[in-house]
Structure 1
Amino acid sequence: MEIHDKISAGVTYLSAESFEHAGGVVHGFSTRLGGVSTGIYESLNLGSTRGDDPEHVWENYRRFFAAVGADLSTVAMTNQVHSDVVRPVTTADIKAGLLDQEPYEADGLVTDIPGVALVIFSADCLPVLLYDPVRRVIAAVHAGWRGTAAGIVERAVEKMAFYGCRPEDILAAIGPGISRCCFETHEDVPNAMTAALGVRATPFLSPIENGKFKVDLKGINATRLERVGLRPEHISVTADCTACLPEKYWSHRITGGVRGSQAAVIQLL
């Protein structure tokens, strides 16, 4: 099933058809369209540590959550460090102040508590949302190349198994991030992928001139999800490349880090 654009109250975001058809959850991948921020943060910046006006960020969250139908009063977020750590979320992790930084470091969150919105951030790295409609468990993952090599999506599925989830029941949506077309690297990245996956990484690594490579992070994460038992037909991947679409997304590479942030949210009803 596809991941497609939706517009609500002027906010453009992406939604996975598989999650919509399963029901019982709200979710969305943000774009940079539909907010109130200005300058380099124009307009739907959801990054609270980028230097934007906090009042603008707060209003952007209000608009984004209203668009996807999520409850802004019970939110858990990540303090991302490009790890493979996936944190189980309890009511103790609900933020008292929306824009306060978390006291923990994690690049993934998982919960079975209805009403708790899990939020992760991206601007080239991949946002990945997972949902088991049978056991009613959700996860949100930030997968950069280091997290991809370390297998963070697999760690998320393993954490979901602690809640009784079976991989074959889990739906996955890989959101907008840098695609093979634009992710040009030195050999450190492909070396990390082959060290982790061996020959299974080869189809996703394309040698180019000057000893560099193009890398397909979306394909590698989809393969990792299949490797831990997800059905291929349960894995949705958007074609949107954050580096190709600067009018729609922030790209860390394209802006040199002078940017706002996208976010992805998922919440059990």
Structure 2
Amino acid sequence: MAFLQKTVNSVPFLMADGFGEGVVHGFSTRQGGVSEGIYASLNLGMSRGDDPARVAENFGLFCAAVGAAPEGLVCAAQVHGNTVRTCTRADAGKGFNRPVDYEADGLVTDVPGLTLVVFSADCLPILLYDPVRAVVAAAHAGWRGTALAIAGRTVEKMMDCYGCDPGNIRAAIGPGISACCFETHEDVPEAMTAALGETALDYIKSVGNGKFKVDTKGINALLLEQAGVRTEHIAVSGDCTVCSGERFWSHRVTGGVRGSMAAIISLHSKEL
């Protein structure tokens, strides 16, 4: 599987080419919206200080471009953990036009029309789809969530709640900070090796002065494979949000003064 870039109604977004026709999905950029100033132009973060009306309009533009139902948006309070929530029709609108009452970094559903959302700005957005059981999922993987195996936990939730066979699951790891720019102190490598053992060392490179570069995209792909997802069913975006700060929101580039991107996925539905 590979990533493709599309532009619909002047809104650019990325998608994986192997998800098939039973699902709509997309990874936003920071381009194509109506926000102004430091949030220009497609800010989808609702807690960044932007005008809520502009954020809502941005979501409408992004959903229309992707083909998802904005009335079915389901968000979560992301906390860099590994909790995965099963979503029902009762969750529609949570975190978007009504309060969210749970913390989670993964969302899973088999309800057509529910549009699962995860936010990012250097962390990795991961979308998953089982075309056999008709189940979709979205996960937010910062380095802490990566070390807690949020990607694998999401696959496990799909298996436990919906009977998914991981061999059927398609996965897409979206734009995020890449190894070229993810320079850290030893706390991140220590967390990865504590979680994965010596296997993690293949994704960690010492650059001297007690600093390391870590390939969290590669580690998340490995976690998906360990959970049973086939290598050929995993797409990994080559886009680095730090290298391409003009296209993507990056927490590092902006020093935290920024908007947010969103990755969304939904099973096809004529109505919610």
* TM-score, length of structure 2 as denominator length: 0.97
Determine the C-alpha separation between the residues in 2 that align with 1:97 and 1:147.
Answer: 20
SS of residue paired to 2:12: strand
Change (3 A) 1:184 1:56: same
Code of the residue aligned with 1:252 in structure 2: it is H
Q: Give unpaired runs (5+ residues) of structure 2.
A: none
User: For residues 214-229 of structure 1, what are the structure 2 equivalents within 5 Å?
Assistant: 214-229=213-228
| Residue 169 of structure 2: aligned partner | 170
| Residue 87 of structure 2: aligned partner | 89
1:54–1:99 Cα contact (<8 Å) kept: no
The Cα RMSD (Å) is 0.9
Q: How far has the Cα of 1:100 moved from its partner?
A: 3.8
* Runs of 4 or more above 3 Å deviation: none
Change (3 A) 1:118 1:96: closer
User: For residues 69-218 of structure 1, what are the structure 2 equivalents within 5 Å?
Assistant: 69-95=67-93, 98-162=96-160, 163-218=162-217
1:185–1:213 Cα contact (<8 Å) kept: yes
Q: How far has the Cα of 1:101 moved from its partner?
A: 3.8
Query: Residue deviations 1:201-258, cap 9 Å, x none?
Result: 0110000021100000000000000011111000000100000001101110111100
Change (3 A) 1:90 1:30: same
Q: How far has the Cα of 1:97 moved from its partner?
A: 7.3
| Residue 38 of structure 2: aligned partner | 40
Q: How many residues align?
A: 267
Query: Residue deviations 1:110-154, cap 9 Å, x none?
Result: 000011000000000000000000000000000000000000011
1:48–1:99 Cα contact (<8 Å) kept: no
1:34–1:43 Cα contact (<8 Å) kept: yes
Determine the C-alpha separation between the residues in 2 that align with 1:227 and 1:123.
Answer: 26
Q: Give unpaired runs (5+ residues) of structure 1.
A: none
Determine the C-alpha separation between the residues in 2 that align with 1:101 and 1:194.
Answer: 37
* TM-score, length of structure 1 as denominator length: 0.98
Determine the C-alpha separation between the residues in 2 that align with 1:63 and 1:165.
Answer: 32
Determine the C-alpha separation between the residues in 2 that align with 1:106 and 1:100.
Answer: 16
2:48–2:258 Cα contact (<8 Å) kept: yes
1:46–1:263 Cα contact (<8 Å) kept: yes
Determine the C-alpha separation between the residues in 2 that align with 1:75 and 1:50.
Answer: 18
- What percent of counterpart residues are identical? 62
Q: How far has the Cα of 1:6 moved from its partner?
A: 0.6
SS of residue paired to 1:26: strand
